[in-house]
Amino acid sequence: MTIGFNGQVAIVTGAGRGLGRSHAELLAERGATVVVNDVVGADEVEAAINRAGGRAVASDDDISTPAGAASLVQRAAEEFGGVQILINNAGVGRFTTLDLASIDEYELVRRSGLDGTFYVTREVWPLMTAAKYGRIVVTTSGNGLLGNPASVTYAIAKAGVYGLMRAVALDGAEFGIKANALAPMASTPMSTEFVSPDMAEMLRVEFPTSLVSPIVAVLASEQCPVSGYTFDAGGGRIGITFQGTNAGFYDRDMTPESILSSWDSVVSRADFVEFASGYESLSMVAASRERALVGIGE
């Protein structure tokens, strides 16, 4: 099976360098018309793709504002007739503890990573729902999914992006729209000060030997098998990160003391279920009650 994007239009944000550039170049190589969005570097990537025989146009719209996101999507729609693929890659990293994180830092990281993802996704949504087709990839991080020391503002933005993806995946199901998240482990300009030369080679992202962009191509393709998933990729490995809900402790007459005395059941990971939505997780309460009633009957 060959994955290709002939006749499809892709927007890639934050594509002036690093991961975004690699995503844009891979999609273009496989036939997509790519709108390369970044406040810096987009023209260079446009030229490189066109020299290689692909088709790309540069955009320096500031997607951290509603107006910039609207301008980006409007241009793609007017020039190419629609948008089938959106790769939300733009983001800014700042790595501090809560006591050192300023309001300015928080707003900078949030506007670029979370607000920009929301604004552009919101703008492409009417195009995709009307076409009954779309592929959306957002970029989250282990910082937001699992947490890391000294990364509070970045973690907030990336956790928000994950939540956006989950909601969009559910809303898009009836329209043929699939949304997934990427949590990359990659050597990029953002991570230069934290990554040794050996680690940089292990986590390389540059096209055409990127160890991250291939999964983005899968998620952007017509053949994409899933929606609502989070994929962690880096160093040659692709896997998933997911949330599970355990069986827990059930007691309709619970007290603080009964909870604490049953703490092993409350936090046990031996028996868990992965739910598709928050509504679906309500079934866990009913299942716990049924198990408790059976036990009482016995």
Q: What's the one-letter identity of residue 179?
A: A
Report the Cα 152 to chain-centroid distance in Å. 18
Question: Among this protein's residues, is 279 annotated catalytic?
Answer: no
Q: What are phi and psi of 177, to 5 degrees?
A: -100, 130
Secondary-structure breakdown of the chain: helix, strand, coil percentages, each rounded to the nearest 5 = 50, 15, 35
- Cα separation, 72 vs 76, in Å, equals 6
The dihedral formed by the CA atoms of 208, 212, 215 and 219, expressed in degrees to the nearest 10: -100
Of 230, 248, 250, residue with least CA distance to 239: 230
- Cα separation, 87 vs 182, in Å, equals 10
Q: What is the 3-state secondary structure (H, E, C) of 128-165?
A: HHHHCCEEEEEECCHHHHCCCCCCHHHHHHHHHHHHHH
- Cα separation, 198 vs 89, in Å, equals 25
Residue 57 carries which DSSP code? E
- Cα separation, 170 vs 166, in Å, equals 7
Tell me the residue length of the chain: 298
CB neighbours of residue 13 within 10 Å: 30
* Structure token pair of residue 74: 């409007």
Options 119, 133, 154, 162, the catalytic residue = 154
Which residues participate in catalysis according to the annotation? 154
